[in-house]
Amino acid sequence: MTAYTPTHVGTVTKYVIVESFEITPADLAVRGYEIAEGAMIKETCFGLVINGKEEEVDRIIAELRKADPDHIFVKDRGFPPGDARRCRANLGGARPGYHGIEHEMTVIPYVSYGLEQIKKRDASAIPHPENPREQPVLAIEKLKKLMEAQES
């Protein structure tokens, strides 16, 4: 086995993902380049990948989020931008994690809607979502109706 010497040590990489009618990944990239100050910014089909010192990356992201806060999402990435080990061109197919993001992108519009709405609504009026671990109890009324339907 050969020795491994890491690159980009001490930096962080984050995805900035855009799901918006107002702003495109390209718009966001232009804004990113303006304020990059040395951080590495790469445009992807979902949005941007930003690499640099953590404070730098966070500063840029905080700024970018302002463009459309409810439609811009951020996630850590293990690899620096363009790393050959994760590159689709080298692997032949997408890395498995890509499909996970693909899946969440189908849900994200609901999350964006949620982010918009919680600012407009009274928090105490929003019901808590069902706990998936608790079996829904059959209401007595419903049970009675079912029994009646069965008998008739």
> Which residues of this chain interact with another protein, rule CB under 8 A?
1-6, 8-10, 12-13, 15, 17, 73-79, 85-86, 88, 91-97, 99-104, 107-115, 117-118, 121, 123, 126-133
**Nearest distance in Å: CB 107, another protein:** 5
Distance CA 85, CA 34 (A): 29
Cβ atoms of 77 and 13 within 8 Å: the answer is: yes
Our CB check for another protein shows the closer of 15 and 52 to be 15
Our CB check for another protein shows the closer of 4 and 21 to be 4
Our CB check for another protein shows the closer of 129 and 149 to be 129
Rg (CA), the chain: 22
**Nearest distance in Å: CB 129, another protein:** 4
Distance CA 99, CA 101 (A): 5
Our CB check for another protein shows the closer of 53 and 121 to be 121
**Nearest distance in Å: CB 140, another protein:** 25
Our CB check for another protein shows the closer of 36 and 74 to be 74
Distances (CA, A) of 32 to 91, 97, 112: 29, 25, 22
Neighbours of 74 (CB within 10 A): 17
10 Å CB burial of residue 59 (0-12, 13-18, 19+) is: middle
**Nearest distance in Å: CB 145, another protein:** 25
Q: How long a stretch of residues is the chain?
A: 152
8-state DSSP, 29: H
**Nearest distance in Å: CB 35, another protein:** 19
